[in-house]
Structure 1
Amino acid sequence: MPHEPTDGHDAATWSPLDSEGWYAARNATTALRDALVRAGLEKDFPYLRADLNAFGHGLVELGRVSPDTAERLAELLRLAMASGFRRDRDGDEHEHAPATSEEDKGRI
């Protein structure tokens, strides 16, 4: 409607660069990319990218991976958890006693 307030923004001129969700997704994608490079998995995630959904919520697209890549990623996560690294939903890191069982020791 011609008399509705627009707050200076027109939907036709909206850009993902105006969205906090875009920057959060981009930063998380960059952090994941760097970790994958350090683990030697950079070529195994060809679809990794930052994205936004229709509501402007940031998303990280991991894409499809081979079963071998999924197994390697699962092993990396198990090793991180066994070493005592924990991160809660708020992103805070916590150190815990190593949670290695006899079964885990055989895989490491």
Structure 2
Amino acid sequence: MQGEPTSGHDAATWSPLDSDGWYAARNATTALRDALVRAGLEKDFPYLRADLNAFGHGLVELGRVSPDTAERLAELLRLALSSGFRVDREDPGHTPTATNEHEERD
């Protein structure tokens, strides 16, 4: 139509593949899936998937899980925390690190 821009992206040509958020969500979903496989929980998260919200921000959809699965996941997190796994909140990327708590107490 006359007067409309002829170049650039509009809503009709936008793709999630053009979004950094999509790739971040996909990579995080893959990492979580791999950890769930190692923990034997891969079948307990049937709705796990990467997604984007309306603003193009990447999200990881965990979906609904059974109470037993939630308890197993909580136990895994408790074990990780008790073995020294932590997330440094001052790190902009929230890079997880493992620490040796015994060395820190000396």
- TM-score bracket, normalised by the shorter chain, equals 0.7 to 0.9
TM-score by length of 2: 0.83
- Secondary structure in structure 1 of the residue aligned to 2:12: helix
- Secondary structure in structure 1 of the residue aligned to 2:63: coil
Q: Which runs of 4+ in 1 moved over 6 A?
A: none
- For residue 48 of structure 1, report the CA deviation from its aligned partner: 0.2
Structure 2's unaligned 5+ residue stretches are: none
| Aligned match of 1:55 | 55
Q: Which amino acid aligns with 2:101?
A: A
- Compared CA separation, residues 2 and 43, structure 1 to 2 (3 A): same
| Aligned match of 1:2 | 3
CA contact (8 A) 1:26 1:50 kept: yes
Looking at structure 1, the residues matched to 26 and 57 of structure 2 have their Cα atoms a distance apart, in angstroms, of 12
Residue by residue over 1:67-100, the C-alpha shift from the partner in whole angstroms, topping out at 9 and shown as x without a partner, is 00000000000000000011124322332516xx
| Aligned match of 2:101 | 97
**Identity rate, percent:** 80
- For residue 4 of structure 1, report the CA deviation from its aligned partner: 5.7
Where do residues 26-65 of structure 1 align in structure 2 (5 Å cutoff)? 26-65=26-65
| Aligned match of 1:21 | 21
Alignment RMSD, CA only?
1.9
Structure 1's unaligned 5+ residue stretches are: 99-108
| Aligned match of 1:101 | none
- For residue 10 of structure 1, report the CA deviation from its aligned partner: 2.0
Looking at structure 2, the residues matched to 79 and 9 of structure 1 have their Cα atoms a distance apart, in angstroms, of 47
Q: Which amino acid aligns with 2:14?
A: W
Residue correspondences, number = 97
